[in-house]
Structure 1
Amino acid sequence: MSTDDTLRVGAHTSIAGGVQNAVTEQLEYGGNCGQIFSSSPQVWAGPSIDDEDAAAFRDLTAEHGVGPWVVHTSYLVNLCTPKDGLREKSLHSMQEEVDTASRLGIEYVNVHLGAHTGAGVEGGLANAVSVLDDVEVPDDVTILVESDAGSGTKLGGQFWHLGQVCDESHHDLEVCVDTAHAWAAGYDLSTPEGVDETVEEFDSEVGLDRLACFHLNDSKHGRGTNKDEHAHVGLGEIGEEGMRAVVNHPALQDVPFVLETPTEDGKSFEWNVQRVRELRET
């Protein structure tokens, strides 16, 4: 197992029973960074985290040196939508998320660009910039736009989508790359050579200086299928060689890896966190 002290790896954890429980759960997995939902991601319900729990989360995070943390926005948010009603709901939800992140001392809020649903790629990207620019982002919070698997009219499957949104927004946006999504969108992450090429393309289209986080997930489906279904690290279609190449790539040594792997086949988040540590070369 790796004893590389620079490796930041953790999992998506639950805030059930109090947001501070996410820190305890992370420690049980052996993680030292992580991600949460601030409320149910399936409904338009804002966060309801009281000040006492928020303080307990901040204290436990500091005490155990866990971080960075990421707040993942609701799955209902669609920044690219041409529909005014959905735009307003998405904007309201984004504002709640960045404000909550600031209360919790969490530096990142991660969001998918969403689907343009007929507005076209350029129209959808412009819509996303418009929504993001209307969010009042606290000084201690950074919004991350996440790479997507690219099914249907969803945007973010191509790195240039992310780069264009970052370039055109007046906020200093950064990016979260999901390995399963990038693979599904056509990027080769299964070999060291493929990872090198993918990293080079990301640097060209977005900039490595904007890469803040990885969602480290293997995939149950083939490259370029646009199918988003995660697998355990090293046991999916990307495979062990590809996962090893990602976690050891020289340009990615300081990037935190957050797992959204399944809990099935007798393998938990703890198994996947340990697997990443084993793959990391010292």
Structure 2
Amino acid sequence: MRVGAHVSIAGGIDNAVPRQVEVGGNCGQIFTTSPQVWAQPEIDEEEARRFREGTREKLDGPWVIHSSYLVNLCTPKDDLREKSVASMQAELDAATLLDIEFVNVHLGAHTGAGVEGGLENAAAALDALDVPEDVTVLIESDAGSGTKLGGEFEHLARVLEASEQDLDVCVDTAHVFAAGYDLSTPDGVRETIEEFDDVVGLEHLRCIHLNDSKHARGTNKDEHAHVGEGLIGIEGMETVINHPDLADVPLVLETPTEDGKSYEWNIDRVRELRE
């Protein structure tokens, strides 16, 4: 079972490896730089070497790089598109340096361009990237608030179809639930996975952000809860964790650190729920 958490790179990117081991993870996710500003990753070769070697020795993988929160692939604004493409290209180059397989990104918001225009913008922005052969861009599902796209499986499928890149998908359980798909019951989970397979294709599902939700289904509110303690609940999370079609998909937690419960608590909970 591949399960891990989004860990900090404070003090050097190679520190992510022992932090992942400390919380009991065997795969995981990082930011390469602050996700709140337009900053390029600054990784020296020695740090990268220690990261690569530590990963090979202590983890099963994969790692995922999560792109900056400022990236907006759907934007109709030329300057924001240019910054978004440059930021994504830097993440892809960092992934190659670190031997990381996936770079994860949200589609962003169309901000008035409309759904069709936003999805076309996203595909065009992705096509402007020079994606290394050993790296795959993952489009992440979204909670769908405002003009943000990616809340519907159809949005993901249309970008995969429209883009010339070989793209895959990361599904966030809290986002999917907030966007209106039912993950709170065994039947709901099965129906949601079947719909994803029909619309996108399970062959494109390469990572799951396994998070419970603090808000009800269909609210479009993105706030994560501890595994089994949110509105998805223990029954829904257990069904996701044990669904046979998801057995080999890496699970990455972005759960909160509060109420005395850490990443380690949540990873232990996931393993306890795995039958």
State the TM bucket, normalised to the shorter chain.
over 0.9
Per-residue deviation, 1:55: 0.5
TM-score with structure 2 length normalisation? Answer: 0.99
Aligned counterparts of 1:122 and 1:206: Cα–Cα separation in 2? 17
Matched residues in 1 for 2:101 and 2:26: separation?
15
Task: Tell me the residue number matched to 1:189.
Answer: 183
Matched, 1:35 2:34: no
Q: How many residues align?
A: 275
Partner residue, 2:47: 53
Is 1:25 the counterpart of 2:19? The answer is yes
3-state DSSP class of the match of 1:212? strand
Q: 1:133 aligns with which of 112, 119, 127?
A: 127
Unmatched 5+ stretches in structure 1: 1-6
Q: What residue in structure 2 maps to residue 77 of structure 1?
A: 71
Distance 2:60 2:49 in 1: 15
The amino acid across from 1:279 in the alignment is L
Distance in 2 of aligned mates of 1:65 and 1:240: 27
One-letter code aligned to 1:46: Q
Partner residue, 2:161: 167
Hey, what's the Cα distance between the residues in 2 that align with 1:61 and 1:88? 33
1:126-161 deviations in Å (ceiling 9; x for gaps)? 000000000000000000000000000000000010
Residue 169 of structure 2: SS of its match in structure 1?
Answer: strand
Conserved 8 A contact 2:21-2:59: no
- Structure 1 segments of 4+ aligned residues over 4 angstroms from their partners: none
CA distance in 1, matches of 2:163, 2:97: 24
TM-score of the aligned structures, taking structure 1 as reference length:
0.97
Aligned residue for 1:142?
Answer: 136
1:12 aligned onto 2:9? no
Instruction: Name the SS for the 2:82 alignment partner.
Output: helix
Say whether 1:280 aligns with 2:274: yes
* Structure 1 residue 124 corresponds to structure 2 residue 118: yes
Letter in 2 for 1:127: N
- The AA in structure 1 aligned to 2:117 is G
The aligned amino acid for 2:19 is E
**Helix, strand or coil at the partner of 2:13:** coil
Could you say which residue in structure 2 is the equivalent of 1:243? 237
Match of 1:20, SS state, is helix
Match of 2:207 in 1: 213
Query: How far, CA to CA, are the matches of 1:85 and 1:167 in structure 2?
Result: 25
Unaligned runs of 5+ in 2: none
State the partner residue of 2:171. 177
Structure 2 Cα separation of the partners of residues 128 and 194 of structure 1: 30
AA aligned to 1:234 is G
Letter in 2 for 1:61: T
- The structural deviation recorded for 1:64 is 1.2
| Structure 2: distance between partners of 1:13 and 1:105 | 17
Could you tell me whether the CA contact under 8 Å between 1:23 and 1:66 is conserved in 2? no
Equivalent residue number for residue 93 of structure 1: 87
